[in-house]
């Protein structure tokens, strides 16, 4: 670290470039966290792609990476489930199995171990109807930035408790165009 300080003192051009880069990054972070247009879940558009920050804004709150960088985001009675179909590019501790089932109307969804503990979120998801929660499913086909909104879902079956694994029922079969985006094909 002392070498970097010395270099920044010796080279004012380098110091200006570092300062410019930090300002750019901080401005972008601030805009993402505080300039989002707040909406309601009713304005979500099925099959549209959303960035994580936009999903949080759709739930009516400003995005905070420290609070909203999980796969289960609960705001009031709405719960957004954000998941990837392909987790091969993640660290081993974050691998989990999600897949669209053959009937194209059900998804096997598994949480990361740390994201759905024994009570709290797991119970809210598993017992969403009884507790009055609405589940919104957002799926990322792979390592893309966008999560595609597949609509509200119901838990039809809980398969495992750790990691929490459930079968989610979509309102309708995935249309062919969405199947293509998700990398699946119909029966």
CATH top-level class of 38-182: mainly beta
∠ CA(68), CA(71), CA(75), 5° rounding?
A: 50
Average per-residue pLDDT in the chain? 83
Calpha distance 137→80 (Å, rounded): 6
37 vs 119, more confident: 37
Nearest by Cα to 82 from 153, 183, 160: 153
152 strand-pairing partners: 136
pLDDT of residue 9: 85
Q: What is the pLDDT of residues 64-78, one digit of tens each?
A: 888 898 889 999 999
pLDDT of residue 111: 78
Flag whether pLDDT at 165 surpasses 50: yes
CATH 2.30.280.10 maps onto the chain at: 38-182
**Model pTM?**
0.76
Nearest by Cα to 101 from 49, 48, 50, 153: 153
Q: What is the pLDDT of residues 116-146, one digit of tens each?
A: 444 678 888 989 999 999 999 999 987 678 9
Flag whether pLDDT at 60 surpasses 70: yes
Calpha distance 180→39 (Å, rounded): 29
Q: How many CB atoms lie within 10 A of CB 17?
A: 12
């Amino acid at each position: 670290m002392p070498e970097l300080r010395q270099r920044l003192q010796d080279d004012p051009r380098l110091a200006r470039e570092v300062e410019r880069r930090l300002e750019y990054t901080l401005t972008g972070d601030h805009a993402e966290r505080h300039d989002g247009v707040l909406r309601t879940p009713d304005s979500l558009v099925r099959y549209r792609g959303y960035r994580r920050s936009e999903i949080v804004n759709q739930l009516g709150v400003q995005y905070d990476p420290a609070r909203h960088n999980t796969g289960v985001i609960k705001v009031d009675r709405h719960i957004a489930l954000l998941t990837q179909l392909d987790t091969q590019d993640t660290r081993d501790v974050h691998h989990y199995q999600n897949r669209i089932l053959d009937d194209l109307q059900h998804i096997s969804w598994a949480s990361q171990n740390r994201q759905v503990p024994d009570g709290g979120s797991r119970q809210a998801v598993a017992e969403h109807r009884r507790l009055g929660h609405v589940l919104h499913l957002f799926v990322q086909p792979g390592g893309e930035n966008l999560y595609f909104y597949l609509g509200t879902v119901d838990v039809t079956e809980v398969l495992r408790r750790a990691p929490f694994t459930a079968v989610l029922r979509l309102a309708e079969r995935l249309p062919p165009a969405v199947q293509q985006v998700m990398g699946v094909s119909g029966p």
